[in-house]
Structure 1
């Protein structure tokens, strides 16, 4: 019996020597606490979880040692690393995320087999380094690869090929030409949804792109052509970015986009197109054609885009005949039309009835007739700034059908009086940089919802503002009368006013009753007038309990501003 007991005791395991952190944690010594000892963490790094090591922004020049083999997430971004030692990486076979963003790693400092043992790696970030070629091999487990902002000129077949889980590849801001992309660059990677190749040196759209793509970024290249069939397999594509290239009409044909049956966003701006491309997908919601050389819009090329919501044609060469009447009428779902910076001399006729925003600044529109805007009764925003409109050529009923209009911009024209018949629902009215000398109550009557009115840079004098002009502006909160010829604060300003701009006038005195009608005033701008130290009456701000800012800079003398002691905060009174 004693012999059997002795043999049993001899076979029982005794205390073992420490073999490492993991062994200590798994096999606590007999008679000691079962709590594991503190985990090793590289100096100055933080290890908030057992599987996470964060060495971000420590100016490290050498890859840290003592990284636990249990690490799944390692961040070394924002350091000074120039190379990755294979021996250190190879022992971290459990890594799922490796962040090397913003270091100095060159291709010479990255061994070919650097990532060979990282068989669990899903996310790798090597953006903003010094790589001249892509890693020859990345793990099959990869889901996201970011090599942006390097100096990469060449990709290899197994860099991104044979990666069944790969979803996103970022290669923008490199030096890739078409010769640097092998035809099988994405073979075996049938799940890539996002590919960014923008800001490289591609001269044509690569023909071997993954068929699974949903978002393709090719902007800021040298692309002059989309080869026939280059996009024929990308039937899942929803967003295509081709802006800032060298595309001409001959670089596209009627089949270029014909297979993209799910495309919603197409950006062809900043190219050299002279016409709207043919064969556009019916699924488009956004079509950006700004900054091209388009002189004429052929109705047939837009006729099938009934779901188009945003059409951007700004900064082209559309003249008097560039948009034939009714050319855009088939776009039944059109919400916003941008025509900024063309050569149009009138508002396009027969626009879609559901149009909500018409943006036409910097054209040559010289007149608004009674029926010019009747086809767009749902218009909420109308921008006709910086055209050639004169008051005599704006019809009294030009705006009568625009009952939904909330924002009207007529800045930078040649108006000498306020337009008549303004819609009662306006919230914003911009009339700066015209030639207004007088204001009368009638044009502003009924604008009970107007919240912002800009009359800056006109020729208004207080004597030209008729009695009762502001009477019906019950909701007006912002009034800009800057850079006119006012010699004092206009009387009877709206009670709801919160912000008043009077800078750049000729005001030399502010009397005690100047702001009696505006108890909610929060900000007052009086800079660059003719005020002196005692120009503002001591009682001027009495009762303005909400006033926060009084700007009197740029006057001939520092201005003394007295606020009632009950004011919650002292506004700024500045010198010249």
Structure 2
């Protein structure tokens, strides 16, 4: 800090220490914005030529964007009044920016992009961010996402895994995942879902544990045509019955801690074909349900192992 006193005892200060930004050409007083307040620079200029150059620099900054050095003081940044960028956090009065507004350009400003994997864990997100078109794996766990919209994953043809564990998702558009041709793993535990959207036929693993899904929240024969499905985990929901029919590819079925009270003899096996054996389905969890499995002895003949649950 350097002070200059006039002859009449009047003091004028110039703050050029920690309150300065240092763009490539000229130092700027901390009180100046990109253009607003720029005419006050004449109080600090010794020559009109210097002021002319400074004003040209300010106009250049306005058009090109201010280039701030790493040591720039935060107070100065606060004075650079400019409209918020489309990818900045949105207030409650603002609507979500569209892909058109963003010019189709993905942003990793709030996430970490490594190769084709995008990590957005614990980033205080309220919606799915715009993703790079070659995204293969998305991890957006421990956020505040409340809904999944049909356009959230549009065009992501290489997306294989979506992990949205521990958000506040209560609704997902029916077409949110259906058109993803490469999707293999959909991980949705610890949310507030009351219904499952339609799934792509490429799905291998569905994990929707610890939600609020009743049997009416599943589409009729929701899993019948999912010929690649191997892991179906719907424990800790509000299901009243085992969803049927189940694809032959299924290896693990977790339905513990629901409200399942009964089943029919064709739930797992074809009662008309006693030669039918489901060799893949070795892991069935029905514990924590009010059903007494011993009441349905003919329902398990095709299984390599009995379900886990209450037999008394």
TM-score, normalised via structure 2 length: 0.58
Residue equivalent to 1:246: 168
Contact 1:339 1:360 in 2 (8 A): yes
Alignment CA distance shift 1:376-1:242 (3 Å): farther
Contact 2:140 2:163 in 1 (8 A): yes
Alignment CA distance shift 1:359-1:195 (3 Å): same
**1:369 Cα offset (Å):** 3.4
Is 1:302 aligned to 2:223, yes or no? yes
Residue equivalent to 2:126: 203
Is 1:383 aligned to 2:303, yes or no? no
Equivalent in 179, 185, 188 of residue 259 of structure 1 = 179
CA distance in 2, matches of 1:372, 1:155: 63
Contact 2:253 2:285 in 1 (8 A): yes
Residue equivalent to 1:217: 139
Q: Deviations over 1:53-107 (max 9, x none)?
A: xxxxxxxxxxxxxxxxxxxxxxxxxxxxxxxxxxxxxxxxxxxxxxxxxxxxxxx
Alignment CA distance shift 1:210-1:345 (3 Å): same
Alignment CA distance shift 1:355-1:178 (3 Å): farther
**1:272 Cα offset (Å):** 1.4
Is 1:237 aligned to 2:159, yes or no? yes
Alignment CA distance shift 1:344-1:370 (3 Å): closer
Residue equivalent to 1:351: 268
Contact 2:172 2:196 in 1 (8 A): no
CA distance in 1, matches of 2:182, 2:264: 30
Q: Alignment RMSD, CA only?
A: 3.4
Contact 1:346 1:368 in 2 (8 A): no
Is 1:369 aligned to 2:295, yes or no? yes
**1:298 Cα offset (Å):** 3.2
Residue equivalent to 2:44: none
Contact 2:150 2:174 in 1 (8 A): no
Residue equivalent to 2:35: none
Residue equivalent to 1:270: 190
Contact 1:315 1:342 in 2 (8 A): yes
TM-score, normalised via structure 1 length: 0.33
User: Larger % of helix: which?
Assistant: 2
User: Greater Rg, structure 1 or structure 2?
Assistant: 1
Is 1:314 aligned to 2:235, yes or no? yes
CA distance in 1, matches of 2:196, 2:149: 18
Equivalent in 175, 184, 205 of residue 286 of structure 1 = 205
Alignment CA distance shift 1:362-1:272 (3 Å): same
Residue equivalent to 1:415: none
**1:191 Cα offset (Å):** 8.9
CA distance in 2, matches of 1:302, 1:177: 38
SS of 1:368's equivalent?
Answer: helix
Alignment CA distance shift 1:202-1:338 (3 Å): same
SS of 2:307's equivalent?
Answer: strand
Q: Deviations over 1:369-425 (max 9, x none)?
A: 36344353223x6321xx4x43xxxxxxxxxxxxxxxxxxxxxxxxxxxxxxxxxxx
Provide structure 1 residue ranges, at least 5 long, that are not aligned to the other structure.
1-110, 115-153, 158-175, 391-576
Alignment CA distance shift 1:211-1:346 (3 Å): same
Contact 1:177 1:200 in 2 (8 A): no
Contact 2:175 2:197 in 1 (8 A): no
Alignment CA distance shift 1:186-1:316 (3 Å): same
Instruction: Return the structure number with greater relative CO, CA threshold 8 A, min gap 6.
Output: 2
